[in-house]
Amino acid sequence: MKYIIANWKAYIVSKKDALLLLDKTNKAAKKSSSEVIVCPPYTFLADAKKMKNIRIGAQNVFYADKGAYTGEVTLPMLKELDIEYVILGHSERRGYFSETDEVINEKVKAALKAGLKVILCVGEKERKEKNVIPEIVAEQVRADLKGVPKSKLTDLLVAYEPIWAIGTGASDTPENAYQAALYIRKTIGDIYQNVKAGKSVKFLYGGSVNSQNVMDFVGYIGIDGVLVGGASVKYGEFEEMIRLVG
């Protein structure tokens, strides 16, 4: 089974547009054997949960259950809505909101403990050697998974998103994405001193994925799906991706 995940970011701002996009995605997902997951802004989560053919994720969450944290959304709030997935560590959270690996690690541990499935994003800002995945990717994986029990890896999806490819139209090559999958799985295997631990984690590619290149990525054994940003809010484009992946 493949994963097709839509990260709406903050592109959709009206309920009218959100409902239209949800309806189109839901109809496309009905004909698919893939796991179609939509991660809209918080304000549309309740509406998204009414869709029968798609899974729903949040774009972020705070690690504390409750308290004096103005503006934060907590895990019990997501659980109240029966949200299944959450994106953590996205480069835009790391960059615009200065989230460190230490903060991301706290979120990952708390979300997994609460029973959510985590879509953990890692990726480098630049690549000096064209076909070599930088060490910073392994450093992020090690830091973000610090203290995570091996038993929780079944609820973990790792999305490799090279920052230089996000929203630029210049995606990485499928071959490099596959090498990133091997590299990340080896890193996880080393963390837990268990090769099977690394192999058990679902691997996603993200970064300028669209209907023209999606099959190049999901066609690789070892790449379990894609995390789609801007293309996921274009009417017809995301539905076509769902149709192609099947």
- The pLDDT of residue 193 is 94
pLDDT in tens, 135-168: 999 999 999 999 999 999 999 999 999 987 787 7
Least confident of 125-134, 172-181, 201-210: 125-134
Residue 112 scores a pLDDT above 80: yes
Q: What's the chain's length in residues? A: 246
pLDDT in tens, 4-23: 999 999 999 999 999 999 99
Q: List C-alpha distances in Å: 107 to 119, 135, 153.
A: 11, 23, 15
Q: Which residues are catalytic?
A: 90, 161
Q: DSSP assignment of 196-226, as one string?
A: HHHHHSEEEEESS--TTTHHHHHTSTT--EE
Q: Indicate the pTM of the whole model.
A: 0.96
pLDDT in tens, 26-42: 999 999 999 999 999 99
- The pLDDT of residue 132 is 77
Say which CATH topology domain 3-245 has. Answer: TIM Barrel (3.20.20)
Longest dimension (CA), the chain: 49
pLDDT in tens, 72-104: 999 999 999 999 999 999 999 999 999 999 999
- The pLDDT of residue 195 is 86
Q: Which residues, in sequence order, are bridge partners of residue 142?
A: none
- The pLDDT of residue 170 is 74
- The pLDDT of residue 40 is 98
